[in-house]
Amino acid sequence: MTSFLEKRYIAARINPEEITIHPEPAVSILRAQYILSDFQGLSPKTIPMPKFDSETNAIDVVKDLPDQVKGHTSHGLTPYLCPVLITGPSPGGLGAETAISLAHGSPANIILIGRDVEKCQSTANSVQAINSSIKVKVVQAELSSLRSVRKAARAILNDNSIPTIDAIINNAGIMAIPLARNENDYEMQFAANHLGHFLLANLLIPKLAPRTGRVVSVSSSGNIYCGVNWDDIYFRNEGSYKPMRGYSQSKTANILFSVAQKKRGVRSYAVHPGSIQTSLSRHIDLDMAEDITRTIWGMSLHEAMESPEHTRNPGLEDQDGVFLSDRRPSTDALVVKSWSLDEKDAEPMWMLSEDLVGEAFDF
């Protein structure tokens, strides 16, 4: 019998011996999140870079970088003004484990956005059981519904207790589902995985911290299966839809979004962590959830120090890119295809997405 890993390798056309599987995906978000805020008052040459590997768990990362978790950032805002926003925080998933691990570092604020308020509240309760002083805000939103996303964004924009956001983590997603469409008649994986996050993140840009704020999109090596089906992006043609084709298209769109958003001056990244099993995989055998944390935090420190008053971190010098894998920018064809990084496709995807959500974004 073919194992679930073998099925994944066949589907993704990858040599299984060259795959690294990270046992705890929440580590990725957390590693990224803490270096998100640079070390106050220190030259990057004097900052000791933490040593993380695939054996590091998420709580280890939190404890190793306590000041970053608490929001001690160089932009001068107090911890209570520097929340992290996470979509898709249902219990047992990557978003929830990220929030729960963050709680061990005593951040002041966490914003959870999800479809099921009760599930979000369950995660919020788990966070506060670790540290009751953490303020957790739960906002209801169905990411596949543009109307619902707009309502959630308005609630956050109008909330005076959230003057700024340090990180928007686009984590929510669905994978390899049977053909379905949202209220606008868009293919469901494209709507939920890409369009909802495209709209949410861009609407919230006014509240993103100006120097250190990040948009982190959970992508996947699933982008290598196929690119964007430009001739039939909505899968209208009979027989054109395949669950993994729809998933791969949405993950490619995530990366193209980061390419285009970064070109517009936003510190935007798409992240691949490896493979773990969560409820995302209920429609197939393996979840391709992502290693957000470890990767972004190495890059975030580098990016935060790029301003004229700082020299670059020598350990990350001359590195650039939007797709991050194994703690660094990557163009490795085993995890990301050239079609996912092509600016010539990123701009049409941006314009198409603006048309589909009914709003143009000019930063």
Q: Exactly one of 9, 34, 186, 241 is catalytic; name it.
A: 241
Tokens at 151, concatenated:
């309502």
**Are the C-beta atoms of 296 and 269 separated by less than 8 Å?**
yes
Residue 85, SS3?
A: strand
Active site residue 241: yes
The DSSP letter of residue 330 is: -
d(CA 260, CA 45): 31
Residue 50, CA atoms < 13 Å, CB-side half-sphere = 24
Helix residue ranges, H only, 113-238: 117-130, 146-157, 188-189, 196-203
Residue 242, SS3?
A: coil
- One-letter amino acid for residue 92 of the chain: G
Q: Which own/partner pairs from 233-239 qualify as long-range (CB within 8 Å, at least 24 positions apart)? A: 233/187, 233/190, 233/352, 234/185, 234/186, 234/187, 234/190, 235/179, 235/187
d(CA 23, CA 8): 17
Which of left, alpha, beta for 274 (phi over 0: left; psi -120 to 50: alpha)?
left
Q: Which are the contacts of 114, defined by CB distance < 8 A and separation ≥ 6?
A: 87, 88, 89, 90, 95, 120, 138, 140, 141, 172
* Residue from 137, 146, 133, 139 nearest 107 by CA: 133
The DSSP letter of residue 181 is: B
> In what helix (H) or strand (E) does residue 334 lie, and over which residues does it extend?
none
Catalytic positions: 241
